[in-house]
Amino acid sequence: MASLTDLVNLNLSDTTEKIIAEYIWIGGSGMDLRSKARTLSGPVTDPSKLPKWNYDGSSTGQAPGEDSEVILYPQAIFKDPFRKGNNILVMCDCYTPAGEPIPTNKRYNAAKIFSHPEVAAEEPWYGIEQEYTLLQKDINWPLGWPVGGFPGPQGPYYCGIGADKSFGRDIVDSHYKACLYAGINISGINGEVMPGQWEFQVGPSVGISSGDQVWVARYILERITEIAGVVVSFDPKPIPGDWNGAGAHTNYSTKSMRNDGGYEVIKKAIEKLKVRHSEHIAAYGEGNERRLTGKHETADINTFSWGVANRGASVRVGRETEKDGKGYFEDRRPASNMDPYVVTSMIADTTILWKN
């Protein structure tokens, strides 16, 4: 008699050319990932060859009940680390039946910015540092923390090892390998300052692909924590008080910044970001004011600052960039629950297209 594990791990290619495609989209809250699966007649590697699909938008807060159909447009394909074989994950964005992007479709406007000739010519690279917190199911308290109590103060947990310092490493390593399997350009992981908090980095990725990869990496993480019976939180300040918040620091460069003389281009770009500080903050994640206090390696939300190797600034420039006279910079303002389509395209818009 086959076990449930045997059936879950069945290799479909032994008996059929058919594959399973898991269509993924972002729900009405802007952070709730949804997905459903369909059978296709054979392997597909080009998203334009995939059929459009639909879902009930009234059940995701994205359409009224009397006109509930929302159309999924496939945009990016990744290998499925759960079903394996030729099965795929498909990142989609959402449209009305008339072909108009729905209000929560942030990818559409981002794609327009990244396809602008001036932006495309600059080949914007992104590296996004996604922080998150693992919570004990049912009590919403960080993994490894005593129920209703607190661990020792911060200090030994950042990149720490040991049963009293590192909580959830099996989940984190599973996620790391699953993302590599899927084809996501995940470049590293580490334990963060608050116990139970971790980070993964995606990049360098070019343009719109950065947003696609971060969203699918989040999806894979949610699926793995589902299996593990743990909850993942992207709240920017999950525990109030003297504990670090969670951000999504966004590293950025353009071709001009990476070439000789790029440091001057970087400084001009940072000045543009300073002028549009309030607009960026408004788009950088809900609840970010609880995180950007000027403490715990953050700058105050109301004041823009930048510096070399300064983790207490809004924007940090690395020592190597200063020394080489070219490179990249890090926008430290985005919250962990930011939309990567919004943040990446807004940085490109401000630094390349916007004329101040």
Element (H, E) at 203: strand 197-206
Query: What average pLDDT score do residues 116-134 get?
Result: 98
pLDDT at 130: 98
Query: What average pLDDT score do residues 117-127 get?
Result: 98
Is this model's pTM higher than 0.85 or not?
yes
Asked if domains 11-104 and 117-353 share a fold, the reply is no
| Count of beta carbons in the 10 Å neighbourhood of residue 38 | 13
pLDDT at 64: 87
As a residue count, the chain comes to 356
Sign of the CA dihedral running 340, 342, 343, 349 = positive
Residue % of the chain over a pLDDT of 90: 91
pLDDT at 148: 85
pLDDT at 111: 98
Cis before 47? omega within 30: no
**With 90 as the cut, is the pLDDT of residue 30 above it?**
yes
pLDDT at 173: 98
pLDDT in tens, 143-187: 999 998 999 999 999 999 999 999 999 999 999 999 999 999 999
C-alpha atoms less than 13 angstroms from C-alpha of 2 in its C-beta half-sphere: 7
- Cα–Cα distances (Å) from 321 to 46, 255, 267, 274, in that order, read 37, 14, 11, 20
**With 90 as the cut, is the pLDDT of residue 310 above it?**
no
Q: Under CATH, which architecture does the 11-104 domain have?
A: Roll (3.10)
Sketch the domain layout of the chain as residue ranges. 11-104, 117-353
pLDDT at 189: 98
**With 90 as the cut, is the pLDDT of residue 223 above it?**
yes
CATH topology of domain 117-353: Creatine Kinase; Chain A, domain 2 (3.30.590)
